[in-house]
Structures are given as structure tokens and as C-alpha cells.
Amino acid sequence: FGKFDLFVARSKKLIDVLQVKQQFSSLSVSNIDNIESVCHKFDQILANFKRKNDRHFLDVKKSEFDTIYQEFKQQVDDLSSDLTAFINNCFLTVSSTAKALELLARFRSVTGSDSLRLLLDEKHTAIFQNYGRDLDNIRAVYEKNKEKPLAHRNTP
């Protein structure tokens, strides 16, 4: 049963690799501007992982798989940090609430990890806080100018 337990553990790690591959593959087909660099880095990480394992994924006698898997996970974690920075940078350049919500929807459709979902939830909250501030500013301008409007009535 020891070999079977090792096989199950190896299979779980391979499932994890495939889930990560699926997440980054969905990023590559998204219509998010400048995401190609992140996708290219992941392709390199995955190619390196495949090359090092040399088609011995399921051979539980090959113990170097665990080392290669840990290296893969570390590289993916680093890439996820880069993706987080990319997402933060994208939201810094957004000029309106509508564009921010559109960008948020694009990222939500392609992100799979819990940490990225949490980041997008934070962005969602920040977007609506900014929207509330925009409404407060508009209300203040209206209240200030409602008696004496800056533009005359019925003028284009």
C-alpha cells in the first residue's frame, strides 16, 4: 500500500500542476492588454517542468519529481506575485468606474486562485468606495451651484 499512497500523492501534485496550467491558459486567451508577458513566463516555467521530468511523472521511484514540483510551485508563486502587481498596476491606470468594473469582470473570468479572487474582491470594494466619493463630489458641486448654475438654461 505504500506505493499506492505515493502514487496518490503524486497524482494530487499532478492535478495541482494541471489546475495551475488551466488558470494561466485562461489568462492567455483573455483580452486583457499586456498580459502576454505573464503568460510567456508561465509557458517557460511549464516547459522547464516538463523538460526536467522527462516523461516520468507517475514513476513513484523517481524521487526528484518532488524537488522539481517544489521548484515549480515556487516559480508559480513568484509569477502570481508578478500577476498581482500587474493587476494592481492595471487598476491604477483606469480612469472611470465603468472601465474599472469592466476590467474587474475580465480578471474575474480568468483568475482561479483564492489569493487572486481575494485581491479582486478588494478591488471591487475600492471601486465602489471611489464611486461613492464621486457621487459625494457631484452632490457637493450641485448643491453649490443649484441656485446660480454655471450654464444658462436651454443653452447647448
Q: Measure the CA–CA gap between 39 and 42, rounded to whole angstroms.
A: 5
Cα separation of the two ends of the chain: 82
Query: What burial letters (b/e) apply to 11-45, b meaning 16+ CB within 10 Å?
Result: eebeeebeebbebbeebeeeebeebeebbebbeeb
H helices present in 29-62, as ranges? 36-53
Per-residue pLDDT tens listing for the chain (156 residues):
678 888 888 889 989 999 989 888 888 777 788 888 888 999 999 999 888 877 677 777 777 888 889 999 999 999 989 988 998 998 888 888 889 998 888 888 777 678 888 999 999 999 999 899 999 999 998 898 888 777 766 666
Q: Are 49 and 17 in contact (CB under 8 A)?
A: yes
Q: Which grid coordinates belong to 4? A: 499506492
Report the predicted TM-score, pTM, of the whole model to 2 decimal places. 0.75
